[in-house]
Structure 1
């Protein structure tokens, strides 16, 4: 093999290695930037809760799970209603507008339930835990705005 052939193969090999390495590094960076623990994971894994706090949070979480499932069922129902309204006339009819408004009301209800749950969770925490919790909540609420 001549010098040109070896140089070409070496360049090709180094290019493939650089591409694979760059892709791997980029994927790891993006994953780490995007993989914030959920608020639930943060509270349970990073705040060093006492047994009593875990018990009280468990009660709050069970109660919220019931309310959340009900709100999510309401959202599915309203979505089905919206689909039927669109299928009726294939335009932004009064029925579609009413279904959209009901969807917004249901989504707002779920958001209110979630906020009430988050605030209830905060009452279980010590002042130091609450300060860290507040920072995490603020990050979660503003990260999509960045």
Structure 2
């Protein structure tokens, strides 16, 4: 039973780690379609997005490695061993780092906006975060 639970955890982690970040995707649409950015704002946000895409790619690699480590540990021990727990905690650590990086990215884009744009953005951000419940 422990093996099945562990496999289910690995599968769930893989599903969550591979799904598009709907909040970020939704905010991207708001930023580019509804905020009427100036050319300078657009250029600054595009640079932020390019930087974040590179950072996210590195996180995706680390997440894949962490999921692999869980699977390897689980297949070796066939139980919820300390190694499996450690590998799962490492995955959660990377996921937490990615979440913080995403929040910093969102705030960096927000800092580029004027007051009116921020009001629209903030309302959409709150709605997007609430929709995840």
Question: Which TM-score bucket, shorter chain as reference?
Answer: 0.7 to 0.9
Root-mean-square deviation (CA, aligned residues, Å) is: 0.9
TM-score normalised over the length of structure 2: 0.80
Larger Rg computed on CA atoms:
1
- Is 1:110 the counterpart of 2:98? The answer is yes
Pick 1 or 2: higher relative contact order, CA cutoff 8 A, min separation 6. Answer: 2
- Is 1:46 the counterpart of 2:34? The answer is yes
Among 40, 46, 49, the alignment partner of 1:58 is: 46
The offset of 1:129, in angstroms, is 0.4
- Is 1:70 the counterpart of 2:58? The answer is yes
Among 85, 88, 97, the alignment partner of 1:97 is: 85
**Runs of 4+ deviating beyond 2 Å:** none
TM-score normalised over the length of structure 1: 0.73
Listed as ranges, the matches of 1:25-40 within 5 Å are: 38-40=26-28
The offset of 1:43, in angstroms, is 0.5
Return the alpha-carbon distance in structure 1 between the equivalents of residues 62 and 132 of structure 2.
26
What is the number of residues matched between the two proteins?
Answer: 109
